[in-house]
Structure 1
């Protein structure tokens, strides 16, 4: 029996070698506004580029209509900073895929963990800590803490939070938990889209002593009794179970609700059916009308 289809080779997403490309031949997808250039984050990146250089290359793809020109997929802030500095060339990574949305969806912006990795890379290249601190506009103590950011954090939790804006204090709190609990806490942060210090502290307070790195050391819970802590632990466990159930069925439930709402809307728009319901099932009409109004509002947003 012969095969009807041949296995297609998997192509590389990027060219293996970096290229030195003229900045004026790179076309950005959008212009960096003046308001953006006045933000703290932009100022930090600009200081880093001036002091350390370009740690991450720009990501470009060749313009199919003009092969000597390139479209900028990622690195718009760095591109604008280099132009403002009067630079003429930049090291670029050339993508074989020109879909910027697909690429950008998978990269991590200058989040806490990304900044940590950039600091480690710069230190390995021999950049002094004092120079790095000036580049990031922080003091030496904060820089050293950023270097040790993932000490005591399990790889799975770090992977979950790699592109999130999590504070240094939240990472300190996560270190007090054992690896499995760190993963649970990180999953809850991502699910709830909450990365604040207070939320991290509430997760720590709801963590059973058996899941703490140092269970003999009391958890900081001013004004909270032991009974309240135990209740929080039980509620936290119940919330996690409920979240798992919701995650498993959310897609199907949402599709069912959308289909049901559309069906009810069509029923109400039929005059004969509406008249029948008004005559024989008047209690249903107000609820059906609310569903129809909800659909109309949703379609307009």
Structure 2
């Protein structure tokens, strides 16, 4: 039996307070970035509640006593503008070639909703949350009430999806069973825009709307609505058919990619392909690289 490999620590055990003057930025924060909504939200959040997520640094091997900033450029830039001279950082053990932000899943709207509810239970007012996020207090209240009229199954299906706030308003028009169908279609098509949800609502049969929630129909005949409903049903059936075949197709693809990768381990095969079928060799090499990366 193989012994389990020890887990390599990505960060030091403790955070470290570091002078900002000893931190090297990987890139310069441009003036237009400082005018962005995201930058304003970060600045407002730091002013209201301080830094929640410490910046990530790594010791600079070329300059003893100095650090490279891997993640948190905007946060540190805000601190510099406020005259702060030191910041508490997480210290990484390795200087990764990729940006840490690429490994971060940005928070979905349902997760924001839950965080706002938790903050409310701790006595944090909507006004303070709005100031921390640099948004209108009405948006915080809308997010607080996000799941009113949304069935629990849909909340679970969309819990980690980036669904626009107004899309939930459209889903509330539907009965629970139609909400579930709509959410499944959104996931299957990987489309979460308000316009796409509106198209699902528009193709919904009259008996699947919540009481008093059917939107007014302008410029669309009953025949057109029936046709949209039929097309939506047909598309839904096609998507379900693809889902049923996905597992088998994916297995075939994995086996084929593994075979190609093993084939390219044979030097004679590679020489033959390079001499007579260089275009095929190039495609095989791409497949092999994907297989190794997986």
Aligned equivalent of 1:49: 46
Structure 1 unaligned spans of 5+: 257-262, 270-301
Q: How does 1:283-294 map to 2 (within 5 A)?
A: none
Deviations 1:70-125 (A, max 9, x none): 33333222121111111123333344453363743331347645655665576566
Aligned equivalent of 2:156: 155
Q: Is the 8 A contact 1:61 1:73 kept in 2?
A: yes
- Residue 184 of structure 1 deviates from its aligned partner by 1.3
SS in 1 for 2:56: strand
Aligned equivalent of 2:229: 233
SS in 2 for 1:155: helix
Task: Name the CA shift for 1:114/1:215 in 2 (closer, same or farther; >3 Å).
Answer: closer
- Residue 222 of structure 1 deviates from its aligned partner by 1.4
SS in 2 for 1:158: coil
SS in 2 for 1:154: helix
- Residue 221 of structure 1 deviates from its aligned partner by 5.0
Q: Identify which of 220, 235, 238 aligns with 2:215.
A: 220
- Residue 33 of structure 1 deviates from its aligned partner by 0.6
Distance in 1 separating the partners of 2:145 and 2:18:
35
What CA RMSD, in Å, does the superposition of the two structures yield over aligned residues? 4.0
Deviations 1:152-178 (A, max 9, x none): 45133121x1xx3x4321132234554
Q: How does 1:1-301 map to 2 (within 5 A)?
A: 3=1, 5-15=2-12, 17-64=14-61, 68-96=65-93, 98-99=95-96, 101=98, 103-109=100-106, 112=109, 116=113, 119=116, 123=120, 126-150=123-147, 152=150, 154-159=155-160, 161=161, 164=162, 166-176=163-173, 178=176, 180-181=180-181, 183-188=183-188, 191-192=190-191, 195-207=192-204, 215-223=210-218, 224-243=220-239, 245=242, 248=246
Aligned equivalent of 2:288: none
Structure 2 unaligned spans of 5+: 258-272, 280-294
SS in 2 for 1:228: helix
Distance in 2 separating the partners of 1:114 and 1:93:
25
SS in 2 for 1:105: helix
TM-score (norm 2): 0.64
Distance in 2 separating the partners of 1:209 and 1:13:
55
Q: Is the 8 A contact 2:56 2:72 kept in 1?
A: yes
Task: Name the CA shift for 1:182/1:104 in 2 (closer, same or farther; >3 Å).
Answer: farther
TM-score (norm 1): 0.63
